[in-house]
Amino acid sequence: MKNITPAFDSNLLSASAEEKIDYFKNKIVRHPHLEQSYNLARECIEFSEKGEIVWIVGPVGVGTSQIGRKLWSDSRHSASELDDGEISASTSPCIAVTAPDHSDRIDTKYWTRLLGDILRAHGDILIDRKIYAPPNQFTLTHPIPYVDPRNRDFDALKYAVINMMQHRRTKLLLINQADRLLPESHPGGCLRSLQILRDLAAQTDARIVLIGSYQLAHSACTRNNWLRRQQTVHLRRYDHTNPQEFKSYALALINLLAEMPIENRLEALSVEAAKDLCISTVGCVGTLKRALTQAFQHALRTGEKMTEDFILQFAPYNKVALEIAEDTKRGERLFLDVSLDEVRDVLNATTAEPTRGIRNGPGKPIPKIATGSPGGINQRRIGERNSSRDPSGGAHGSQHP
């Protein structure tokens, strides 16, 4: 049993319910996985080569969006003026957008919507309402190319986005829910998205950061191992079977409970209740925060006491948790490593002796690699690992796949 000491200002107890809820919603609790992944994301952004894309992936509700918000908050600053002859425009070092939803198809119309969102988020809020004037009757003095809203095709918008990002010296483009760009049901759309993203990254000085669930990782890995050739940040869940990870999760839970400004608060937390919450939220602190927020709101409205059983009522349904757990385990397999012995087996493999009737030489069949004999290639599915390796969710931090 762990006692919970209030960490909020006692004056909040006399505040309105809306003020209490806003306080708790805006409270961010730091925990090891979040801090490690954020620091790795900053390093990937800083040291990635031009044209590379940074991926931030993890299970649903683990907190990838929180990393995106922190990157945006830390990267933006007050607008400053840059003088370039008679032209002055404010800089925009960071821009964040959410990929729009789609109907299982990623075509140029979809990317037209997304590019328009980027232009609007960049400050060009009237992109759909500008008055058209023929070039021979109007002298354009703004350095960002004008896009006719009546004839704004994909190529024009793409050029406008590239030019705007260059002119405003954008260093970071964050795209949340980026798994929408790579639907498994539309392979052609996935390839189109990857090519457009690569073009945007290569033609600007900005680093593009894609933020999404394991669906993003799965789609990217099946497209010619695209994900493995880029900078990747894997924000993992907490594994309740690992004592150190469960301790970190429980500490985050206690810190959140300590920030609830309510009279009938929970004063102590048992290990059993913490483990039940860890399992029902699949070890994801973001999902935990949503469950605690719902419990807090309900307790404020009804006046009920915050007990362990009361809080557990607002955890995800077991069926929902099961679906998330299954998706999480499939996603984690994408990031499993293999033993060094497997690499050694491949490098030490020798070709078999030529069989009768097969000759070596230019244009002749090549002998097959021996796979069944000792020293041959140890064939294994991509993502599988030796049983001697540590299980997923072990002590390793965020890593590149």
Q: DSSP string covering 303-316, please?
A: -----HHHHHTTSP
Q: What is the pLDDT of residue 224?
A: 52
Report residue 75's pLDDT band, with 50, 70 and 90 as the boundaries.
confident
Highest mean pLDDT among 97-106, 249-258, 362-371: 249-258
Q: Alpha-carbon distance 152 to 309, whole Å?
A: 56
Higher pLDDT, 340 or 230: 340
To the question of pTM greater than 0.95 for the whole model, the response is no
pLDDT at residue 283 greater than cutoff 70? yes
Report residue 107's pLDDT band, with 50, 70 and 90 as the boundaries.
confident
pLDDT at residue 277 greater than cutoff 90? yes
Q: How far apart are the first and last CA of the chain?
A: 38
Report residue 219's pLDDT band, with 50, 70 and 90 as the boundaries.
confident
pLDDT at residue 23 greater than cutoff 90? yes
Q: What is the pLDDT of residue 226?
A: 57
Q: According to the CATH classification, is domain 32-234 in 3.40.50.300?
A: yes
Q: What is the pLDDT of residue 398?
A: 45
Q: What is the pLDDT of residue 149?
A: 47
Report residue 286's pLDDT band, with 50, 70 and 90 as the boundaries.
very high
Q: Alpha-carbon distance 94 to 163, whole Å?
A: 15
Q: What is the pLDDT of residue 40?
A: 94
**For all residues of the chain together, what is the average pLDDT?**
79
Average pLDDT over residues 279-303: 95
Tell me the longest C-alpha to C-alpha distance in the chain: 92
Q: Where are the domains of the chain?
A: 2-27+242-316, 32-234
pLDDT at residue 228 greater than cutoff 70? no
Least Cα distance to 174 among 219, 223, 114 occurs for 114
pLDDT at residue 254 greater than cutoff 70? yes
Check if the beta carbon of residue 68 is closer than 8 Å to that of residue 90. no
131-140, 225-234, 344-353: segment of lowest average pLDDT: 131-140
Helix, strand, or coil (residue 162)? helix
DSSP state of 12: G
Report residue 182's pLDDT band, with 50, 70 and 90 as the boundaries.
confident
Edge-to-edge strand list for the sheet holding 231-234 = 94-98, 172-176, 207-212, 53-57, 231-234
Higher pLDDT, 98 or 352: 98
pLDDT at residue 380 greater than cutoff 90? no
Q: What is the pLDDT of residue 86?
A: 39
Average pLDDT over residues 278-287: 96
pLDDT at residue 58 greater than cutoff 90? yes
Average pLDDT over residues 170-187: 88
Structure-token pair, residue 187:
């392979």
Helix, strand, or coil (residue 210)? strand
pLDDT at residue 272 greater than cutoff 50? yes
Average pLDDT over residues 221-229: 57
pLDDT at residue 213 greater than cutoff 80? yes
Q: What is the pLDDT of residue 38?
A: 95
Q: What is the pLDDT of residue 352?
A: 54
Average pLDDT over residues 28-54: 90
pLDDT in tens, 45-57: 988 887 788 999 9
Q: What is the pLDDT of residue 364?
A: 46
Average pLDDT over residues 7-23: 93
pLDDT at residue 6 greater than cutoff 50? yes
Q: What is the pLDDT of residue 382?
A: 42
